[in-house]
Structure 1
Amino acid sequence: MSTTRLLLLGVVRIFQPAYGYQLRRELMTWQVEHWANINPGSIYTGLRTLAKHGYLMELEEGAGHKPGRTSYKLTNDGESEYFSLLRSALWTVNGFQPGQMQAALSFLWSLRRDEVLAALESRIVQLEQLEKAEPFSERQIAEDPGTPNHVVEMFRISSARDRGELEWTRGFRQRVADGEYSFAGEPPSWEPPPGLTTHWGTIPDPPG
């Protein structure tokens, strides 16, 4: 649920004010239905729920527009919630919820480079600790008479994902340290095509 909320708040933040169909279309180009388990039809419900909880402001369009079409923008609470969810996804390793880091990657430009580096270094330590504990956890599974033999393979596939993420995180951390990509307070490293209305051209600073 937090991954869905981060994605919705984040995409509204890029395009705000933006209407539901525009946000749904954008998220579908990210293929979120495959890696974040978001049902395309649930995006509208999610936006209304965030508005009900005070994270989004609903803006009814005036005369001359399609009746009932509502656009959204973040409230102050929504901005705070966005950064809270983004930092939680970035700083916390959760091998059973890989979509959290995938969502965080979509919005890392919202943070400053030094924080991203610190978070990646923290993730490396967490993943190294999991790798160190792996043989002992596997032994515990193998020695438990009440656990079917095949369960150890479920543990091994999860451990393999953790090792793969560790390798990637080390490489990504180095690329960020070498100056690749752009983050809050820096000139953008990418510009949207002409005519595409987004806020990508100006990377906002995070709240102090």
Structure 2
Amino acid sequence: MSTTRLLLLGVVRIFQPAYGYQLRRELITWDVQHWANINPGSIYTGLRTLAKHGFLEELEEGAGRKPGRTSYKLTADGESEYFTLLRKALWSVDGFRPDQMQAALSFLWSLRRDEVVAALESRVVQLEQRMKAEPFSERQIVEDPSTPDHVVEMFRISAARDKGELEWTQAFHTRVTEGAYSFAGEPPTWQPAPGTFPYWNVIPDPPD
């Protein structure tokens, strides 16, 4: 749920005010239905839920409530919640929820470089600690007579993810400290090609 909330708040923050159908289409181009396990049809429900909780403001088009004709922008509470979720995803390692870091990567540019560097250093330490403890956790599983022998492979696949993430985090940290990418308060290093986003000026009818 926190990953979904971060993605919805983050994409609204980029394009606000934006219509639900636009936001849904944008998130689908990020393939969130695959790596974040978000059903595209639930995006509208998620936006309405965030509005109900005071994180988004709904801006109606006309007097009616046509599907896809409500636009959204972040409230002050939504802005605060966005940064809370982003920092939680960046600073915390959860081997069973790799989607959290995937979502954080989508919005790291809204943090300053020094915080990103510090968070990556913290993630390296957390991952190293997890890997140091893994042999003992594996031994406990293997030696427990009440645990089926195949269960250890579930642990080993998680350990393999930790190893791969540690290698990536160390390399990513090096790239960021050497000046790669742009972050809050810095001149952008990337600009969309002219004409990339012309469809944001056209509000299509939502699908049937």
Report the alpha carbon displacement of residue 99 of structure 1 after superposing the two structures with TM. 0.3
- Alignment-mate amino acid for residue 147 of structure 2: T
- Distance, in Å, in 1 between the alignment partners of 2:198 and 2:154 is 45
- SS of the residue corresponding to residue 107 of structure 2 reads helix
The answer to whether residue 37 in structure 2 is matched with residue 37 in structure 1 is: yes
- Distance, in Å, in 1 between the alignment partners of 2:142 and 2:65 is 62
- Distance, in Å, in 1 between the alignment partners of 2:13 and 2:124 is 29
**Which residue of the partner structure matches residue 111 of structure 1?**
111
- Distance, in Å, in 2 between the alignment partners of 1:174 and 1:182 is 14
- Is the Cα–Cα contact under 8 Å of residues 15 and 197 in structure 1 kept in the other structure? no
- Alignment-mate amino acid for residue 150 of structure 1: H
**Which residue of the partner structure matches residue 27 of structure 2?**
27
**Which residue of the partner structure matches residue 201 of structure 1?**
none
Q: TM-score, normalised by structure 2?
A: 0.92
- Distance, in Å, in 2 between the alignment partners of 1:30 and 1:24 is 10
- Alignment-mate amino acid for residue 9 of structure 2: L
**Which residue of the partner structure matches residue 172 of structure 2?**
172
**Which residue of the partner structure matches residue 72 of structure 2?**
72
- Is the Cα–Cα contact under 8 Å of residues 12 and 23 in structure 1 kept in the other structure? yes
- Greater alpha carbon shift after TM alignment, 67-76 vs 91-100: 67-76
- Distance, in Å, in 2 between the alignment partners of 1:33 and 1:14 is 20
* Identity rate, percent: 81
Task: Count residues in correspondence.
Answer: 197
Structure 1, residues 78-99: CA drift from partner, whole Å, max 9, x if none?
0000000000000000010000
Consecutive unaligned residues of structure 1, counting only runs of 5 or more, are 199-208
Q: TM-score, normalised by structure 1?
A: 0.92
Report the alpha carbon displacement of residue 61 of structure 1 after superposing the two structures with TM. 1.6
- Distance, in Å, in 2 between the alignment partners of 1:163 and 1:126 is 12
Report the alpha carbon displacement of residue 142 of structure 1 after superposing the two structures with TM. 0.5
- SS of the residue corresponding to residue 187 of structure 2 reads coil
Within a 5 Å distance, the mapping from 1:114-193 to structure 2 comes to 114-193=114-193
The answer to whether residue 97 in structure 2 is matched with residue 97 in structure 1 is: yes
- Distance, in Å, in 1 between the alignment partners of 2:127 and 2:2 is 22
Structure 1, residues 68-112: CA drift from partner, whole Å, max 9, x if none?
510000000000000000000000000100000000000000000
Consecutive unaligned residues of structure 2, counting only runs of 5 or more, are 200-208
- Distance, in Å, in 1 between the alignment partners of 2:104 and 2:17 is 22
Report the alpha carbon displacement of residue 67 of structure 1 after superposing the two structures with TM. 4.3
- Is the Cα–Cα contact under 8 Å of residues 55 and 76 in structure 1 kept in the other structure? yes
- Distance, in Å, in 2 between the alignment partners of 1:197 and 1:131 is 47
- Distance, in Å, in 2 between the alignment partners of 1:66 and 1:2 is 28
